[in-house]
Amino acid sequence: MRAPLHRNKPVLILAVFMFVIMLMTACGNANTGDAESSSASSNSANSSSSSSPAADPSQAASSASSVPEETVEQLYEQAKQEGKLVVYSTSGRANDAAETFMKHYPGIKVEVSKVKSDEMMDKVTKEQDAGQFDPDVILTKEVSGAVEEEMVKPGRYVRYLPEDIAPKVDEPYRTEAEAYANYVEFRTIFYNSSHYSTAPVTNWWDLITPEFKGKVYTADPLSSPAFMDLFTTMVINSDDMAAAYKEKFGQDIELHGTENAGYEFIKQLFENGLVVLKGSDDVLDAIGKANSDAVGLAVSGDVSKNEEKGWTIQPILDIKPKTAVPDSGYLFLANKAPHEAAAKLFIRWMMGEVDGKGEGLNPFNELGSWVPRSDVETKNDMQFEDLNLWAFDGEALYNTAPKVRDFWIKQK
Amino acid sequence: MTTKAKPINKTSRLYNRTFNWLRNPVQMIGIAALLLLFYTIVWPVLEMLYTTFVWRQQDMRLTAEAQPGHLTFYHWVRVLASDMSASLFYEPVLHSLAVGFAVSAISMVLGCGLAWLVTRTDIPFKKIIAFLAVIPYLLPSWVLSQAWLTFFKNQKIGGTPGIMQSLFHISPPDWLSYGFVPIVLSLSAHDSVYFFLIVGAALSSMNSQLEEAAGMAGAGRLTILRRIVFPLVIPSMLSGFILIFTKAISSYGVPALLGTPVNFDMISTMLYSSMRSRLTTEANVLSLLLIVICMAAIFLNQRIIGRRRSYVTVTGKASARTLTALGRWRRPAAGMILVLMVLIAIIPLVVLLVQTFMLKEGVYSFSNLSMHYWWGGSDPDINTGEKGVLQNPIFSLAFKNSLLLSGIASVIAAVIGLALGYVVARGKQSWVGRAVDQISFLPYLIPGISLAAIYISMFAKPTLLIPALYGSMSLLILITIVKELPFTVKAGSAAVMQIGQELEEAAQISGASWFTRFRRILMPLNRKSLVSVFLLVFIGAMKEMELIIMLVTPRTETLTTLTFYYAEKGYEQLTNVILMIIIAIVMAVYLLSVKFGKADLTQGIGGS
CATH of the domain at A270: 3.40.190.10
Residues B453, B290: Cα–Cα separation, whole Å:
18
At B239 the pLDDT is 76
Classified as helix, coil or strand, B121 is strand
Nearest CA in chain B to A125: B457
CA distance A88 to A120: 8
Query: Between the CA of residue B423 and those of A23, A174, B202, B351, what are the distances in Å?
Result: 19, 64, 18, 45
- Distance between CA A218 and CA A287 in Å, rounded? 11
Q: Which of B157, B362, B524 sits opposite A2 (nearest CB)?
A: B524
Q: Phi-psi category of A273—alpha, beta or left, where left has phi over 0 and alpha has psi -120 to 50?
A: left
pLDDT tier, A68 (very low <50, low <70, confident <90, very high otherwise): low
Please tell me what DSSP assigns to residue B386: P
Residue A22 has pLDDT above 60, yes or no: no
Please check the confidence at residue B606 and state whether its pLDDT lies above 60: no
From the candidates A9, A23, A27, which should be mutated to test the interface with B, based on the most B CB atoms within 10 A?
A: A27
What residues 94-153 of chain A have any CB closer than 8 A to a CB of chain B? Answer: 95-96, 111-116, 118-119, 121-123, 126-127, 129-132, 134, 143-144, 146, 150
At B220, which amino acid appears?
G
Do A405 and B277 count as a contact with CB atoms less than 8 A apart? yes
- Judged by CB atoms closer than 8 Å, whether chains meet at A27 and B276 is answered as no
Which residue in chain B is spatially nearest to A6 when comparing CA positions?
B597
Using one digit for the tens of pLDDT, what is the confidence trace for A146-169? 999 899 999 999 999 998 898 999
Cβ pair A219, A278 in contact under 8 A: yes
A401/B contact by beta carbon, under 8 A? yes
Angle between helices B431-439 and B473-497 (to 10 degrees): 130
Same domain, yes or no: A77 and A160: yes
Q: What is the pLDDT of residue A9?
A: 44
pLDDT for A66 beyond 60: no
Residues 209-248 of A with CB under 8 A from B: 214, 217, 220, 222-225, 228
Is the pLDDT assigned to residue B305 strictly greater than 80? no
Chain B residue numbers with beta carbons less than 8 Å from the beta carbon of A129 are 457
Altogether, the residues listed in chain B come to a count of: 608
A56 touches chain B (CB under 8 A): no
Lowest mean pLDDT among A298-302, B21-25, B135-139, B200-204: B21-25
Residues of B in contact with A288 (CB under 8 A): 159
Closest partner residue to B157 (CB to CB) among A20, A222, A275 is A275
- Strand, helix or coil for residue B65: coil
Q: List the single residue in A24, A123, A132 with the smallest CB-CB distance to B32.
A: A24
**In this complex, do A112 and B261 lie within 8 Å of one another by their Cβ atoms?**
no
C-alpha pair distances (Å), A115 with each of A153, A168, A282, A342, B176: 21, 30, 21, 21, 35
Higher pLDDT, A57 or B141: B141
Question: Given CB atoms, is A5 within the 8 Å cutoff of chain B?
Answer: yes
Residue A3: per-residue pLDDT: 42
Asked whether residue A27 is domain-assigned, the answer is: no
Share of chain A above pLDDT 90, in %: 48
Do A172 and A80 fall into the same domain? yes
Same domain as A407, residue A258: yes
- Which residue would you say has higher pLDDT here, A14 or B448? B448
CA torsion, ordered B113, B118, B121, B126, to nearest 10 deg: 140
Mean pLDDT of B96-100: 93
Average pLDDT over residues A86-91: 90
- Whether residue A288 lies inside any domain: the answer is yes
Chain B residue with Cα closest to A19? B412
pLDDT at residue A58 tops 70: no
A42 in any annotated domain = no
Q: Is the pLDDT of residue A1 over 50?
A: no
Reported confidence tier of residue A36, pLDDT bands at 50, 70, 90: very low
pLDDT at A42: 37
Cross-strand partners of A333: A137, A158
Average pLDDT on B115-122 reads 82
- Residue B320 — very low, low, confident or very high, per pLDDT cuts 50/70/90? low
Asked if A15 reaches chain B (Cβ–Cβ under 8 Å), the answer is no
Q: Do A310 and B361 touch (CB under 8 A)?
A: yes
In a domain, A390, yes or no: no
Least confident residue range of A225-229, A331-335, B252-256, B323-327: B323-327
Q: For B96, list phi and psi in degrees, rounded to 5.
A: -60, -45
H or E stretch at A113: strand A109-114
Same domain, A260 and A404: yes
Residue A347 lies inside a defined structural domain of this protein: yes
B181 or B276: which carries more pLDDT confidence? B181
Mean pLDDT of B400-414: 93
Query: For the residues B148-159, what does the mean pLDDT come to?
Result: 77
Residue from the list B261, B277, B412 with its beta carbon closest to the beta carbon of A277: B261
pLDDT band at B410 (very low <50, low <70, confident <90, very high): very high
Q: Are residues A278 and A406 in the same domain?
A: yes
Handedness of CA B106, B110, B113, B116 (dihedral sign): negative
Number of Cβ pairs closer than 8 Å across A and B? 239
Q: What is the largest CA-CA distance in chain A?
A: 91
ipTM of the complex: 0.75
The region of weakest confidence among A359-363, B64-68, B263-267, B582-586 is: B64-68
* pLDDT for B555: 79
d(CA A217, CA A313): 13
* More confident site: B365 or A8: B365
What is the band of A37 on the pLDDT scale with cuts at 50, 70, 90? very low
Residue A35 within a domain: no
pLDDT winner (highest mean) among A40-44, A206-210, B388-392: A206-210
Contact between residue A128 and residue A178 where contact means Cβ atoms under 8 Å apart: no
Interface probe for A, chosen from B273, B555, B575, B608 (most Cβ of A below 10 Å), is B273
Q: Is residue A217 part of a domain?
A: yes
Domain match, A196 and A261 both: yes
CATH architecture for residues B392-552 = Orthogonal Bundle (1.10)
A175/A212 same-domain check: no
| C-alpha angle B390-B392-B398 in degrees, rounded to nearest 5 | 85
Q: Same domain, yes or no, for A126 and A266?
A: no
- The minimum CA-CA distance between A48 and chain B, rounded to whole Å, is 8
Residue A64 has pLDDT above 80, yes or no: no
Q: How far apart are CA B448 and CA A341, in angstroms?
A: 35
What is the pLDDT at residue B385?
A: 65
pLDDT digits (tens, 9 = 90+) for B26-76: 777 888 888 888 888 888 888 888 888 988 877 777 777 778 888 888 889
pLDDT at position A267 is 94
Q: What's the pLDDT at B98?
A: 94
Local confidence band at B313 (pLDDT 50, 70, 90 cut-offs): low
Nearest C-alpha neighbor of A225 from the set B277, B210, B26: B277
Chain A residues within an 8 Å CB radius of B257: 278
Predicted confidence (pLDDT) at residue B318 exceeds the cutoff of 90: no
B contacts of A43 (beta carbons < 8 Å)? 463
Q: What is the pLDDT of residue A4?
A: 41
Judge if B95-276 and B392-552 fold alike in CATH terms: yes
Please, what is the average pLDDT of chain B? 79
Locate the domains of chain B by residue range.
95-276, 392-552
- Nearest chain A residue to B514 by CA: give it: A14
Contact check, Cβ <8 Å, A277/B157? yes
Domain count of the fold of chain A: 2
Q: Nearest chain A residue to B32 by CA: give it.
A: A25
**Cβ contact B460–A131 (<8 Å):** yes
* pLDDT score for A271: 93
Rounded-to-integer distance, Cα A361 and Cα A345, Å: 13
What was the pLDDT predicted at A26? 42
A177 and A194: one domain? no
- Check pLDDT > 70 for residue A54: no
- Nearest residue to A327 via CA among A154, A90, A155: A90
Q: What is the pLDDT of residue B477?
A: 92
pLDDT of residue A316: 93
pLDDT for res A31:
36
Q: Are A286 and B159 a contacting pair at CB < 8 A?
A: yes
Smallest CA–CA distance, residue A112 to chain B, in Å, is 6
CA pair distance B242, B294, nearest whole angstrom = 8
Claim to verify: residue A147 and residue A270 sit in the same structural domain: no
Provide the domain limits for residue A304: 187-325+399-411
- In chain B, residues with a C-beta closer than 8 Å to the C-beta of A53 are 57-58
Measured in angstroms, the CA of A289 and the nearest CA of chain B are apart by 5
Q: Which residues pair with B415 in a beta bridge?
A: none
Of A36, A119, A131, the CB nearest to B464: A36
Classify domain B95-276 at the CATH class level.
mainly alpha
Using a pLDDT cut of 70, give the percent of chain A over it: 83
The pLDDT assigned to B273 comes to 84
One domain for residues A207 and A298: yes
Same domain, A334 and A293: no
Q: Do A115 and B550 touch (CB under 8 A)?
A: yes
Any domain includes A47: no
In the structure, what pLDDT confidence band is assigned to residue B375 with cuts at 50, 70 and 90?
A: confident
Residues of B in contact with A402 (CB under 8 A): 61-62, 277, 279
Best mutation target, A12, A20, A195, to test chain B (most B CBs within 10 A): A20
Summarised one tens digit per residue, pLDDT across range B445-476 is 777 777 887 787 778 767 666 777 877 888 89
The residue ranking higher by pLDDT, B532 or A49, is B532
Contact B465 A23 (CB under 8 A): yes
Alpha-carbon torsion angle B356, B362, B367, B369, nearest 10: 10
CA distance B433 to B496: 13
**Mutation site, B382, B553, B573, B605, interface A, largest A CB count within 10 A:** B553
Asked if B157 and A225 come within 8 Å (Cβ–Cβ), the reply is no
Cβ contacts of B422 within 8 Å, gap of 6 or more: B25, B26, B29, B492, B493, B496, B518, B522
Q: Please tell me the distance in Å from A272's CA to the nearest CA on chain B.
A: 13
pLDDT value for B8: 62
pLDDT bracket for residue B411 (50, 70, 90): very high
Q: Do A24 and B57 touch (CB under 8 A)?
A: no
Mean pLDDT is lowest, of A346-360, B134-148, B324-338, B453-467, for B453-467
